Amino acid sequence: MAQYEVQPPRQAQQQSQQQAQPAAGQQQQQTDAPQQQPQPQEQQQQPQYKYDVNKIDWEAAASIGIKREQLEQNGMLDQMLKGFQTDKTARVYFNLGSLSHSNDSQLSLRENTDGKLFICSHGILDLDKMQKQFFGYELSQKDMDAVKLSGNIGHPAEVTNRAGEKIPSLISRNLKTNELVSFPLDKVRIPAEKNGHTFTPDEITKLKQGEAVVCQFQTKAKEGQKPKTYLAPVQFSAAKMQLELLFGERGKLAMDEHREMQKQTANQEVPKTFRKQELTEKSQLELAGGGTVKVSGLVDKRGKNYHGYITWQPGQKYPAFMFPKDYKTALEEGRVKPAVENEVQVAVNSQGKTNESTKSLKEALQSAQTQPTGEQKQQQDRKEQQKEDKKQEQRQEQQDKPKQRKGVRR
Q: Do 157 and 98 lie in a common domain?
A: no
* pLDDT in the model for residue 267: 58
Whether 366 and 373 have beta carbons less than 8 Å apart is answered as no
In a domain, 27, yes or no: no
Indicate whether 240 and 228 sit together in one domain: yes
Which of these, 173, 208, 202, 209, lies nearest to 189 by C-alpha position?
A: 208
Residue 157, pLDDT score: 93
pTM over 0.85: no
Residue 242 φ then ψ, to 5°? -165, 175
Domain end marker among 266, 291, 307: 266
pLDDT the model gives residue 353: 36
For 230, the domain range is: 127-266
pLDDT of 185: 93
**Based on the domain organization, do 156 and 255 belong to the same domain?**
yes
Say how far apart CA 378 and CA 395 lie, in whole Å: 26
255 and 134 in a single domain? The answer is yes
Q: Are residues 253 and 277 in the same domain?
A: no
Across the chain, which has 410 residues, the per-10-residue mean pLDDT values are 58 52 46 47 56 86 86 88 85 78 83 82 82 90 90 92 90 89 93 90 91 88 83 91 89 84 67 83 79 86 88 80 88 77 45 42 43 63 74 69 58
H helices within 267-323, ranges in order?
281-288
Annotate 338-397 with DSSP letters as a single string.
PPB----B-S---TT-SPPTTTT-SSPPPTT--S--HHHHHHHHHHHHHHHHHHHHHHHH
φ, ψ (nearest 5 deg) of residue 274: -140, 115
Q: Kindly state whether residues 324 and 233 are assigned to the same domain.
A: no
In a domain, 293, yes or no: yes
Order the strands of the 242-245 sheet from edge to edge. 213-218, 229-237, 242-245
pLDDT of residue 94: 78
Can you give the pLDDT at residue 73? Answer: 87
The verdict on 166 and 96 lying in the same domain is no
- Do 297 and 171 share a structural domain? no
**HEC string of 56-91?**
ECHHHHHHCCCCHHHHHHCCHHHHHHCCCCCCCCEE
Which of 266, 288, 307 terminates a domain? The answer is: 266
Is 15 contained in some domain? no
If you ran DSSP here, which 8-state letter would residue 158 be given? E
One domain, residues 235 and 142: yes
- Same-domain status, 361 and 317: yes
186 and 139 inside one domain: yes
Who's near 370: CB < 8 A, 6+ residues apart? 320, 321, 322, 323, 326
pLDDT of residue 34: 47
Is 390 a domain residue?
no
- Domain stops at, among 197, 232, 266: 266
- Give the chain's domain count: 3
Note whether 110 and 122 are within 8 A (CB): no
- 383 contacts: CB under 8 Å, gap ≥ 6: 360
The answer as to whether 53 is a domain residue is yes
Structure confidence at residue 171 (pLDDT): 94
**Domain annotation covers residue 105:** yes
- Asked, for residue 351, whether it belongs to a domain, the answer is yes
**In a shared domain, residues 139 and 110:** no
Secondary structure class of 41 (helix, strand, coil): helix
